[in-house]
A and B are shown apart, each in its own frame.
Chain A
Amino acid sequence: SQQGEEDPQALSIQEGENATMNCSYKTSINNLQWYRQNSGRGLVHLILIRSNEREKHSGRLRVTLDTSKKSSSLLITASRAADTASYFCATDIGTGANSKLTFGKGITLSVRP
């Protein structure tokens, strides 16, 4: 079964609105990362939050992490049509050379002009 599960599976909003995407996971993590994938392209790293951090910001992105609830959320403020893409959370689990990054199934975000 998937380590990380994103919610919702699909999200459609109007340009200018905020988009909130959630990720839940099952086991302890070292860090959690969010990626964006435009149609037909590779994934692009957006932001990483470590297990001892609760909140991080990067431009219009804000990510939170609640390790007690094993969940994270990604907030995109003032969305633009160019934000239309699939978004994936990825969890870093394991130790040392056995660490692995496992991905969820993704959220499809559509931003209407």
Chain B
Amino acid sequence: NAGVTQTPKFQVLKTGQSMTLQCAQDMNHEYMSWYRQDPGMGLRLIHYSVGAGITDQGEVPNGYNVSRSTTEDFPLRLLSAAPSQTSVYFCASSPFGTGGGYTFGSGTRLTVV
């Protein structure tokens, strides 16, 4: 089915470990973004991309890196995991940037111990 695929669905990391959250979409959307969702905080934008080769920071970018080498993929890298990064991470894409509705992945639940 067409959509946004996130892997893994669940992950436990130890403090200081690094990992990459994967996000892929097959809808040829130019715009992709990463959000984190914490209880009582809503969704906060981490990084976003308006097309291959172009990325920019959102509201809470510290501790995260992104790259966009293809239209389909937008991985999120945690450089050195901290307990404050325990959260649910969502990837989203849109054909029209913020001018259209986003399609969200099902999320990655990350716990850092």
Residues of A at under 8 Å CB distance from B? 2, 30-31, 33, 35, 41-45, 48, 88, 92, 94, 97-106
Contact = CB atoms under 8 A, between A and B. Distances in A.
Interface string B40-72: 111111001010001010110000000000000
Contact of A30 (B48, B99, B103, B104): B99
Contacts of B90: 42-43
A106 to B, nearest CB: 6
A42 B104 contact: yes
A64 B87 CA distance: 32
B101 A104 contact: no
A94 B106 CA distance: 27
A97 B50 contact: yes
Given A42-B106, A97-B56, A33 B43 contact: no
A35 B43 CA distance: 12
Contacts of A31: 98-99
A101 B102 contact: yes
Nearest to A94: B98
A44 B40 CA distance: 19
